[in-house]
Amino acid sequence: MSTSTDTRRYTQSLTTWLQLREVDGERIGEIVAEVQVHVAESGEDAEAAFGPARRYAEQFGSAPRYWGLNRRTVLVGAVSGVGGALLADGFFASVLGGDAVLGLPGWVAVVVGLALLTAVFVRLPVNAVVDPRRPGRRGHPRVALLAVVTATFGGILGLAWLLIALAR
Amino acid sequence: MDETSWPTSWTRAALELCVLACIAELGTTHGYQVARRLAEHGLGEVKGGTLYPVLTRLEEQGLTTTRWVDGLGGPGRKLVRISDAGSRALAERREHWGRWTARVAHLLDTPPSSHPTPQLEETR
């Protein structure tokens, strides 16, 4: 017997694996909706009916590129990482006093960091999941998640940089 | 043999044709109904992970047409029906399958010792 939590967890995992296999967002929406409808009607557990999400996803798309080292992902990762680092560094430098990285005033680092992050999010290629039952709604594109992760990581790096600079 | 668990290789070989036949039989239908119909025909339980990729292939080959409809209090469902090309393909494949299974049945009905291998006979 499936629960809505089990099904949600399964479809989230399935969506991730399908995204990694670069399946088109509209097709992902269909595959996920088929799973949801089937388990709702049969009362079966999603994993019992469809097998592990990773194995089921292998029937669609191409083999996943785990490292994703193509020009697009490297550029998104690098720019959002630098943007996040500048934003964090500039923010803390402004609050605590002193210069940010490269001797920039804190507010300049904040502005440049925000500009880089905005540029990344505006220019992101989108492979959003589209539910065929609600075609107007779109999910989160995978590359946007990459940008959020790298911007956060960059922010942490920026903070660490500042703490090291202050300790000196 | 337990009829609910046919060898996987047999099911795999016949599944696409059987699914198409079920869709033709049911008219406008949906995935779960096809799974139930296959079970009612004695083909055993076909899991969603096996059935839906077959339904997708049939649609990609143009043998079925599909559309999503809102569910009444449910999550909505994908309706599927056989296309004209699907009906023609089903008739053709049904005939081929009939000839194939007749040959297999004929082979299996042949008594084991009725055609001894001449070379092996000579070496005895």
* pLDDT of res. A50: 96
| DSSP assigned state of A51 | -
B83 band by pLDDT with thresholds 50, 70 and 90: very high
What pLDDT sits at residue A94? 78
Question: What is the reported pLDDT for A26?
Answer: 87
pLDDT at A92: 81
| Closest-CA residue of chain A to B32 | A38
C-beta contacts of A74-77 below 8 A and 24+ residues apart: A76/A120, A76/A124, A76/A143, A76/A146, A76/A147, A76/A150, A77/A146, A77/A147, A77/A150
Q: So what's the pLDDT on residue B85? A: 97
The whole-angstrom separation of Cα A107 and Cα A89 is: 10
- Residue of A4, A27, A38 to mutate when probing chain B, most B C-beta within 10 A: A38
Would an 8 Å CB–CB cutoff place B71 in contact with chain A? yes
What is the Cα–Cα distance from B11 to B17, expressed in whole angstroms? 10
B35, B49, B77 ranked by CB distance to A56: nearest? B49
In this predicted structure, what is the pLDDT of residue A79?
86
Is A31–B32 a contact, with Cβ atoms under 8 angstroms apart? no
The rounded mean pLDDT for chain A is 80
| pTM (two decimals) | 0.68
Instruction: Say what the pLDDT of residue A104 is.
Output: 80
Of A55-59, B57-61, B73-77, give the lowest mean pLDDT range: B73-77
The pLDDT, as a whole number, for residue A163 is: 75
- At A102 the pLDDT is 75
Q: Using alpha carbons only, what angle is made at residue A50 by residues A47 and A55, rounded to the nearest 5 degrees? A: 90
pLDDT at residue A64 in the model:
64
φ, ψ at B84 (rounded to 5°): -60, -40
Residue carrying structure tokens 């009444």: B72
Closest-CA distance of chain A to residue B111, Å: 42
Q: Which among A120, A107, A99 has a CA at the least distance from the CA of A168?
A: A99
Residues 79-118 (B) with a CB less than 8 A from some CB of A:
none
**Neighbour count for residue A17 (Cβ, 10 Å):** 21
In A, minimum Cα distance to B70 occurs at A133
Checking if the pLDDT of B25 tops 90, the result is yes
Q: B7 vs A150, which has greater pLDDT?
A: B7
Selecting from A30, A55, A133 the residue whose C-beta is nearest the C-beta of B75 gives A133
Full DSSP string of chain B: --TTS--HHHHHHHHHHHHHHHHHHHSSB-HHHHHHHHHHTTS-PPPHHHHHHHHHHHHHTTSEEEEEE--SSS--EEEEEE-HHHHHHHHHHHHHHHHHHHHHHHHHHS-TTSS--HHHHHH-
B31/A38 touch (CB, cutoff 8 Å), yes or no: yes
Which residue in A98, A78, A72 sits closest to A165, CA to CA? Answer: A98
Digit-by-digit pLDDT tens for chain A (168 residues) are 567 778 999 999 999 889 888 888 889 999 999 999 999 989 999 999 999 999 999 988 776 665 556 777 788 788 888 888 888 888 888 777 777 777 788 888 888 988 888 887 777 666 778 888 776 655 555 556 666 777 777 777 777 777 777 776
Q: State chain B's mean pLDDT as an integer.
A: 88
Confidence of residue B20 (pLDDT cuts 50, 70, 90): very high
